[in-house]
Structure 1
Amino acid sequence: MNLALLFPEDFITPDRVRLTGRRRTHLAEVRKACAGDRVPVGMADGDLGWGSIVAQDEDTVELAVDFSEPAPAPLPLTLVLAMPRPKMFRRVLQTAASLGVKDIWLINSYKVEKSFWQTPLLAGPQLRENLILGLEQARDTAMPRVHIRKLFKPFVEDELPSLTEQRPGLVAHPGSDEPCPVHLSRPATLCIGPEGGFIPYEVEKLIEAGCRGVHLGKRILRVETAVPVLVSRLFDGCIR
């Protein structure tokens, strides 16, 4: 946790917060912070700043906080992701949030097993918690939006065209003729398939909706690897 992300319910006065649970444990047991120490904080969907520890006990820690620095700029990227297997989904979600992706669409695909959609990781609290962990890692504050679409064809036909209308639409697919572009200077929509990739019918539908196929070379990468590689290739600003 490189930043304690704060929410309105944490405030006990306009400039003082009380933290419990995971954040309190991290400050006390991992950072070994004690009274008088200053730790980085950020207001959810707001600015960055510092918190000075003014009181703590076995259950809580209180900080006097002030905010004076803007959060990192979001990436101008819409990420369309075939629902990964649950064990991988947690890591992918945190990685996307850490890289500055703010618009995430989870979609179905022929190779996505029905059981993937039953994971409790899609429930509001767990989804939010993994996004927070990604933001805390990267010292960011803007919460990503996650859209869940369990039907492939209606999403591609009815919604995807508006996401690619005035921006490059890319579908990462092994065997495509065009290498993935680099250093984009405009917004983009990136579609990444499941393990094993989209089937030909799905690739065709994505292209009809305004995407073009791109590749990362001859190597086939896991989704959890492909996401950071593709995002950092398209927008090197996420690693500056």
Structure 2
Amino acid sequence: MTLQTVILAAGMGSRLGRSLPKPLTELSDGRTIMRQQHDNIFAAFGDDAKITTVVGYRAETIVEAFPAADYVYNERYDQTNTSKSLLRALAATGKAGVLWMNGDVVFDPRILGRAIALIERDQSFVTVNTAKVSDEEVKYTVDAAGHIDELSKTVSNGIGEAVGINYVSARDKKAFMRQLARVGDQDYFERGLELAIREDGLRLAPMDISDLYAVEVDFAEDLERANLYV
């Protein structure tokens, strides 16, 4: 399967307190976060999987570390959030469906194996963890049919957390991009998904990976937790 994948890696990641971009943070097994992501992508989808990375802060360090990847530059990385970085990447990947992930997620390689069936059906999805619901994280609710209804950090009575690994189908991509263009510069890409659900009828499936690990590394304690798995 030749799959278009996107890694969002433009941010400064200042909360972790490192000088390099957060995806270049080294894990206890000697790999960087981004190397673990690349390894997981190729293990699930083969060596011909196409990786496009959105860079901004200290972009040259990521390009030097992964010269074979394709790159999109967000020159406004210090003024915009993930909605605008993702919009740039989706525009560079043609009409095909796209799997994308935040560049700071350390995750179980079995997650992408679980995603294959949904991707082969071209079903848009958000990867979720129902084992915990933290106020700081992106939370979600579902409608009567079991599809994602609300998706943001401000959701009340969320039934789980979004992990930061997602897929938009070829049929949903145009509407999603239109909504990403509408949202504010400081909005996360989840705002574009919410609008596409509400206004374009996007049917977004939750893919539960509560039995597997996925750690978004924002702080030093997150890195310590991620290192327990790798």
The question of a shared fold, defined as TM-score above 0.5 by the shorter chain, is answered with no
TM-score range, shorter chain: 0.3 to 0.5
TM-score by length of 1: 0.33
TM-score by length of 2: 0.34
Q: Which has the higher strand share?
A: 1
